[in-house]
Every structure is written in C-alpha cells, then in structure tokens.
Amino acid sequence: MTETQIAKLERLHNHPTRYELVLQHAQTGERVRLAYILRNNRSGLMDAIRRNGAELEAFTGSTTFDLSKKGQPAAAQLGSWRASFSGRTQREAIISGELVWFASEKK
C-alpha cells in the first residue's frame, strides 16, 4: 500500500462507513466517482446530486435526471450518464484503487 492510501485510511478511523456513488457512461462504460455518502439509498443519492448540481450539469450536459422507481436499486439517469452505487465502501475503494472524481475530469 502507498503512503497516500495509508494516510487516507488513517483519516477514516473512527468515522462512519461511507459508500461509493459512481457515474457510468451508457455507451463507453467509463466510470468516475460522484461521491462517498453515508446513506446508500435514494435519499443519499438525491443529496449527492443536489450538492454537486452545477458540476453535474456541466459534466453530463443534462439539466434534468430520472430517478429509479421505488423497489429498484437507487439510481438516476443524467443524460447518457447513470448515477448508482458501486457496491464498495470508501475503505474498499481506497485499498483497491479509487476512481477519479467526476468534477476533476475535463469534458
């Protein structure tokens, strides 16, 4: 493990688990990280979209999104990008290799 990974993991000590939320492009399959959030449910997804609204609009080119139906896994469609949970915790993502944060990507 690198020193950067160790430092990030040490900062997580005694903090609640956060879950990785990713954006995936429909055609290319490219994946970028949207956020790490405390709640891996619809309300957590909505909060992440609200917090990153301006950056998401610039990145995806979409001003609206469609939320998945109740009873289905939490996800949202933003143009050709889909926001959903990766199934990894923040700790797992750091250890196995973090995705690039979407707002740091130039589109």
Q: The domain containing residue 21 runs over which residues?
A: 3-102
Look at residue 96 and tell me if it is in a domain: yes
Q: pLDDT, tens digit, for every residue of 7-23?
A: 999 999 999 999 999 99
Look at residue 107 and tell me if it is in a domain: no
**Could you tell me if 75 and 83 are in contact, meaning their C-beta atoms sit under 8 angstroms apart?**
yes
Residue type, 74: A
Q: pLDDT, tens digit, for every residue of 39-94?
A: 989 999 999 999 999 999 999 998 888 888 888 889 999 999 999 999 999 999 99
Look at residue 91 and tell me if it is in a domain: yes
pTM for the model: 0.87
Domain count, the chain: 1
Q: What order do you get walking across the sheet with 75-78 strand by strand?
A: 31-37, 19-25, 81-89, 75-78, 66-67
Q: What's residue 83's pLDDT? A: 95
